[in-house]
Amino acid sequence: MAGDTPLHICDSEKGEKCVVLLHGYLESMLVWDEFIPLIYKSLRVVTIDIPGHGISQVKGEIHTMDYLSDVVADALKALAIDKAYIVGHSMGGYVALALTERHPEAVAGVVLLHSTPNADSEEKRKNRQREITLIKSGKKELIARTAPQYGFAADNRARFKDWIEDLAEIALLAEDEGIIALLSGMMERKDQNEMLRKLSVPQLFILGRKDEYITAPVAEAMVAAHPQAKVVWMENSGHMSFIEEPKACAEALLGFCCDK
C-alpha cells in the first residue's frame, strides 16, 4: 500500500543511491525489464505500476499528477527511502515534476526521459478527449494496436517489432477506467516550466532526435528554456531510448546519478 492506494512495486533493495523509474502512458513497470540489468549494479532500482496502469488500482474518475505524485511519495516512505533520483518516461515525467514540486525533500534529482514540463496544448487535449471517446465506445484495442509503433523512430520499427507487440499487449491489459483516469489527469496538468527553472536539485533531459511525440524543434526549444538542466540527445531514438538505445540511455542515467 502507498497511502490508501494498493500499488504494484518492484524493489532491487540494494544500492547506496536509489532511482525510481516511472513508466509512460499505456505502459507498465514491465517496460523496464531489459533496462534494469544495465543499472542495478550501481543503483537501487524501484519500479512502480502507476495507478491506472499495470496492476495498480484505479482510484476514481481522474488521476491527477498531484495525486500520482503523492502515491509515489507514500511508496518511498513505505520503502524507507529518504531520497531518490526520479526518472519519468513521458507521462511518468509529469508525475516526476509534480513529485518534485510537492515533495522536494524526497528528490535527489529529476530526469525527464522523453518528457516535457509543458502543459497540454489545445490540440493535445482534443486528441486525449478523442481517445477517451474511443475507449468509452469499446475501441481500446484500436489504440493499443496503433499507438506503440509511433513511440519508436520510423527506421527502428521493423527491428523492434516484438517490443511493439509487447507494448500493445501491456496496453490491452490496462483497465479502461484506468486509461481514462490518466488521460483526464494529463489533460488537466499545469505548466511546470517556471517550477523547473527554480529547482535547486539536479536535472537531466534525455531526448530523442527522431521523437515524433516531442519533435526535435520542440525539444530544442525546451532545452533553450532550461539552461540549468543537463541534456543528453539520443541520436538514433524516437520516444523510447531506454529500448532503442539502452546502453547509451543507461550510461547517461548512471553518469547523472553516480558521478556526484
CATH of the domain at 73: 3.40.50.1820
Q: Domain range holding 93?
A: 9-258
Categorize the per-residue pLDDT at 2 as very low, low, confident or very high, splitting at 50, 70 and 90: confident
Categorize the per-residue pLDDT at 138 as very low, low, confident or very high, splitting at 50, 70 and 90: very high
Q: Which residue has the cell 532550461?
A: 226
Q: What pLDDT does 260 receive? A: 55
Residue 3 lies in a domain: no
Q: What pLDDT does 43 receive? A: 98
Q: What pLDDT does 1 receive? A: 62
Residue 37 lies in a domain: yes
Residue 251 lies in a domain: yes
Give the Cα separation of 229 and 222 in Å (integer): 10
Residue 134 lies in a domain: yes
Residue 81 lies in a domain: yes
Give how many domains the chain has, as a whole number: 1
Give the Cα separation of 26 and 4 in Å (integer): 23
Is 0.85 topped by the overall pTM?
yes
Helix (H) / strand (E) element for 170: namely helix 161-173
CB half-sphere exposure, 149, CA atoms < 13 A: 11
Residue 213 lies in a domain: yes
CB 88, CB 107: distance < 8 Å: no
Please give the grid coordinates belonging to residue 108.
535527489
Residue 248 lies in a domain: yes
Strand order through the sheet with 230-234: 9-11, 44-48, 18-22, 84-89, 107-113, 203-208, 230-234
Give the Cα separation of 96 and 102 in Å (integer): 10
The proportion of the chain whose per-residue pLDDT surpasses 70, expressed as a percent, equals 99
Q: Is the pLDDT of residue 61 over 70?
A: yes
Coil/strand/helix, residue 108: strand
Residue 1 lies in a domain: no
Q: What pLDDT does 3 receive? A: 77
Q: Tell me what the mean pLDDT of segment 236-252 comes to.
A: 98
